[in-house]
Chains A and B, each alone.
Chain A
Amino acid sequence: MKKRLSDLAPDETGIIEAIKGPVHDLMCLGLRVGKTVKMVTKQPVKGPVVVLSGEVEIAMGIGTAQRVMVIVTPQEA
């Protein structure tokens, strides 16, 4: 299932499929197509999101997270 990174639920994991718009800022933080990311926290009222990519926690504005498309990894039972 494909969704925006900003729509991942906490603890949900996905693989980045595409980044719309400028990629440089995200690439230098370690986010690129093919990378697995896990949602750590989502702040309410369009607040920033924190995702885990490898060993790195990355915080970004909701607008940035909305530009990242991910394919959701099925949760283990």
Chain B
Amino acid sequence: MAANVGDVTTVLMIGNPNVGKSALFNRMTGANAVVSNYPGTTVDFTKGTLIEGNQTYVIIDVPGTYSLEPRDAAEEVAVRMLRHHPDATVMIVLDATRIERGLYLALEVMELGMPCILAVNMIDAAHEKQITVDTAELQRLLGVPVIPTTAISGEGVRSLAEMLRKARVADVMDISGRLKGDRPAAGGRACFGCGGCGGR
């Protein structure tokens, strides 16, 4: 995995505003970042530490952004963080109830060629609204680990922490090929043995 300074890995949490990045950050690091039910609560970054296995992760909670072309100061912080940590692992956080909008940003981030992991947060809210997210299929298509989480209850947070070391660089051309169905899932290359996709 990239971004190893000594044995510390930097993890940037990137996602749309109001998807629960700060709540997830607090869960993972025990920190106390301000959380509210309004987009744009986080306007600067917060750092926290997570020790999982023998690996230390410095997790950085980044303000929400809709794209990598900043339109306000908070979005500029997010884009600057990505630029200043080119070796970091990126944890892309999506809102399970608004998955499509999050995927637009996710693909933009994946194009940067950084190792990524996807957290599909608010999965409980999605269940309530009878929205089902096929995380296994999403994982197969994107070729990066996809973990369903609920930050407020802590569901999936442990497996998200465990899967951080399996973050992968996604190839947008491969994703496009898999979506068109004209290329098989790269002979299992998309599978990295976590069992999440059933080995597809």
Contact = CB atoms under 8 A, between A and B. Distances in A.
B45 interface: no
A28 B100 CA distance: 9
Given A54-B98, A55-B98, A28 B66 contact: yes
25 contacts: A24-B67, A24-B69, A25-B67, A25-B71, A27-B104, A28-B66, A28-B67, A28-B101, A28-B104, A28-B105, A28-B108, A29-B66, A29-B101, A30-B98, A30-B100, A30-B101, A30-B104, A54-B98, A54-B100, A55-B97, A55-B98, A55-B129, A55-B131, A56-B98, A56-B101
What is the size category of the interface that chain B forms with chain A? 10 to 19
Contacts, number: 25
Interface in B72-103: 97-98, 100-101
Interface of A: 24-25, 27-30, 54-56
A29 B75 CA distance: 14
A54 to B, nearest CB: 7
A67 B180 CA distance: 30
Nearest to B71: A25
Interface string B33-63: 0000000000000000000000000000000
A30 B100 CA distance: 7
Interface in B98-150: 98, 100-101, 104-105, 108, 129, 131
A58 B97 CA distance: 15
